[in-house]
Amino acid sequence: MKNQRPGGRLRDPFDAPANAPDPGAIQALVQAALKEDLGNGDLSATLVPAEQKARAELHLREPAVLCGQAWFNACFRALAPGVQVVWLVEECARVETPGIVAEVTGPARGILSAERSALNLLQTLCGTATETARLVRLLSGGRTRLLDTRKTLPGLRVAQKYAVRCGGGYNHRMGLWDAVLVKENHILACGSIQVAVDRARKMGKGRWIEVEAEDLDEVSQALDAGADVVMLDDFALEDLREAVERIRGRAISEASGNITEAMLPEIAGTGVDYVSMGGLTKHLRAIDLSLRFT
């Protein structure tokens, strides 16, 4: 069978180890954020003598999964050489009690100039990780796992997908370059699911192939074509159960399309392998954090 490892185990493209944040990607995002905020210089920071040192405390105002320390640190280090950031809570930890989670010491001007960009990145990534963790808890006890999508905030793809992992979720493809997802328009342009999958197979290089199915007939077509993953788009619950039974043992199953929090328990009850939700990264609420000089 095309979509099996030696020994008969299905390949699971989503169940891969979480990668540590790439330093290059972190620096690129931080530099873009700082350039956007600083422009030609921080006028307000010049109110403070250049030689003045400062100490600040980072206050978490609500329960959250803390995520984004590397981005937060990089903002200060880019503008304030010698700055020290001491974290009192580990990355990806769930913090139930609001309070001080980090201390920042160093040149006052640099801390003031980097503050907003650092907080913007941190509160966004904390928001993504916290929402992911909340929804993952709704799926606990079953086989179904939570996936993100490519519906991320522009420029924050790598960072938000890292935050999803921090919250206990899993990553779908990073972009258009690392996997093939055959959707409705691809099928129409190619003529059939079989033709689209056959062309994708010829690419080689170990790419996994997913087919989006809109009904049970397309599920069967995707399986016959040898898809690695079958996405079940906007399936009614009974059809979803039927689709999962057809797919089981032949491919990875993914429920997707207008899925809400209230639907998660019933969807999990079908035994589907994954459920993907764009809201993890596009409908997030930033976590309340503030930095105060002491």
Q: Is residue 68 predicted with pLDDT exceeding 80?
A: yes
Query: How many residues are there in the chain?
Result: 294
pLDDT digits 0-9 by tens, 171-211:
999 999 889 999 999 999 999 999 999 999 998 767 899 99
Sign of the dihedral defined by the CA atoms of residues 226, 231, 235, 240, in that order: positive
Which pLDDT band holds residue 9 (cuts at 50, 70, 90)? Answer: very low
Which pLDDT band holds residue 151 (cuts at 50, 70, 90)? Answer: very high
Higher pLDDT, 217 or 140: 217
- Amino acid found at 44: S
Lowest-pLDDT range of 11-20, 172-181, 242-251 = 11-20
Three-state DSSP state, 256: strand
Give catalytic residues, as residue numbers: 116, 151, 183, 212, 233
Q: Are 98 and 61 in contact (CB under 8 A)?
A: yes
User: Given this model, what pLDDT does residue 6 score?
Assistant: 32
The β-bridge relationship of strands 274-276 and 145-147 is parallel
**Quick one: 222 exposed, middle or buried, by C-beta within 10 A (0-12, 13-18, 19+)?**
buried
Distance CA 124, CA 169 (A): 16
Q: Is residue 2 predicted with pLDDT exceeding 80?
A: no
User: Given this model, what pLDDT does residue 10 score?
Assistant: 59
pTM score: 0.92
Q: What is the mean pLDDT of residues 253-274?
A: 94
Residue with tokens 């009690």: 97
| Tally of CB atoms within 10 A around 265 | 13
